[in-house]
Structure 1
Amino acid sequence: MIRPVRPEDVPALRRMMAGSNGYADGPPRDMIVRYATDWTPQGETFVLEDEAGLAGFYELIGWGERDRELDLFFTADDRQGQGVGRALFDHMAGEARAVGAQAVLICSNPGAADFYRRMGASDAGVKPPSDTITWERPKLVLTL
């Protein structure tokens, strides 16, 4: 079941982020651990929960007047390849459409970019490093 995040979900989602195998050792690992430690839901945040517990989540934030940016997207490491990511992505696209968005911006972890392409997102350049994220990230757009 995909549902809105609840306050009691936050500790498990922080652990999911901090332990994600999508972030290599060194600066990427350090960054995600720091970010996860203080993270609280800020946007339209949904979790996929099933009989085994929380399997993944995403967070959409505003991008422009109506469009959305996929700020966070995580699937539990032990649930990857089981359709969790696809279910969350389809739900995310539906939520964005429901608020009138025509596009979703995705600044991706480099290792996840192919997943977003398979889901229909198109390449739209590269997001340069910043003070917080010190590596280039693929920028993609999902047209709704």
Structure 2
Amino acid sequence: MPEITIRRATAADSRRLTRLVRGSSAYQGPYAVMVDGYRVGGAYIEHHPVHVAVDADDRVLGFYALLLDEAELDLAFVADSAQGLGIGRRLIEHMTGEARAAGLAAVRVVAHPPAEEFYLRTGARRTGTVAATGRVHWDRPELSYDLAAATA
């Protein structure tokens, strides 16, 4: 496994995070509408706790965005080239630690349907379904990381 550092993202990371989102193979075909024109803006990064996993050369391997006021994981992506290296699990462990430190009891996740199993494997539990609406033409699983429970 490559040397990985998880650090707070800055506005300067905006373009790299946007490229990661738009280039994700998880959002091809019918899911492409979700990332078409999507931008991870500098103001968003500065306002919310966004953390990025980078290798020794500062290459972005993945990131997540936690919305503290809503107690929700808003974004979580791992670069296609970094899939299967444990980076997603490390990002989730980092996110739950940050959420606990912020005093959150749980973190809600409205998941991309193909990602549901990943969230379940990393300790989330299924709490319901969010119905299709707007540009999203498919129901999405709703999950929760219960932070009072044992760490995944």
- Fold shared per TM-score above 0.5: yes
Does 1:127 find its partner at 2:133? no
Distance in 2, Cα, partners of 1:76 & 1:84: 9
| TM value normalised by structure 2 | 0.85
TM-score normalised per structure 1:
0.90
Tell me the equivalent position of 2:120: 117
RMSD of aligned Cα (Å): 1.7
Q: Kindly provide the amino acid, as one letter, of the partner of residue 86 in structure 1.
A: R
**SS state of the match for residue 141, structure 1?**
strand
Partners of 1:120 and 1:37 in 2: how far apart?
Answer: 26
The aligned residue for residue 54 of structure 2 is 49
Deviates more, 1:6-15 or 1:72-81: 6-15
Q: Structure 2: where are the runs of 5+ without partners?
A: 148-152
1:73-92 pair list within 5 angstroms: 73-92=76-95
Q: Match for residue 67 of structure 2? A: 61
Partner residue, 2:32: 29
How far is the alpha carbon of 1:140 from its aligned partner?
0.4
Matched length: 140
What is the CA distance between 1:25 and its match in structure 2?
A: 1.4
**Greater fraction of residues in strand:** 1
- In structure 2, C-alpha distance between the alignment counterparts of 1:107 and 1:139, rounded to whole Å: 5
Question: Deviation per CA, 1:54-112, whole angstroms, max 9, x where unpaired?
Answer: 10000011355xxx100000000100100110110100000000011010100000011
Tell me what 1:4 maps to: 8
| Long gaps (5+) in structure 1 | none
How far apart, in 2, do the equivalents of 1:86 and 1:134 lie? Answer: 28
Supply the distance in 2 between the matched residues of 1:36 and 1:55 (Cα, whole angstroms): 17
Structure 2 counterpart SS, 1:22: helix
Identify the residue that residue 72 of structure 1 maps to in structure 2. Answer: 75
CA contact (8 A) 1:61 1:70 kept: yes
| Pair 1:99 & 2:102 matched | yes
Percent identity of equivalent pairs: 37
